[in-house]
Structure 1
Amino acid sequence: MPDFYRYHAIFTYEDDGVNVVFPDLPGCITFGKDEEEAIRMAKEAVSLHIYGMEQDKEPIPEPSSMKKLAEEEALEPNESFYLVEAFMPPFREKQNKRFVKKTLSIPYWLNVEAERQGINFSHTLQNAIKQQLNIAT
Structure 2
Amino acid sequence: MLYAYTAVITESDGIFYAKVPDIDGCITTGNSLPEAISLITDALNLCLVGLEDEDICPKPPTSQADIPHTPDDILTIIQADTILYRARTDTKAVRKNVSLPAWMAGLADKRGINCSKVLQDALLTVLS
Rg comparison, structure with higher value: 1
In structure 2, list runs of 5 or more residues that go unmatched. Answer: 99-114, 117-128
Tell me what 1:67 maps to: 65
Q: In 1, are the aligned partners of 2:7 and 2:19 still within 8 Å (CA)?
A: yes
Q: CA deviation at 1:62?
A: 0.3
SS at match of 1:60: coil
Q: In 1, are the aligned partners of 2:41 and 2:80 still within 8 Å (CA)?
A: yes
Tell me what 2:40 maps to: 42
In structure 1, list runs of 5 or more residues that go unmatched. Answer: 100-128
Tell me what 1:86 maps to: 80
SS at match of 2:28: strand
Q: CA deviation at 1:63?
A: 0.2
| Counterpart check, 1:17 vs 2:15 | yes
Question: What is the number of residues matched between the two proteins?
Answer: 100
SS at match of 1:48: helix
TM-score by length of 1: 0.64
CA-based RMSD: 2.1
| Counterpart check, 1:54 vs 2:17 | no
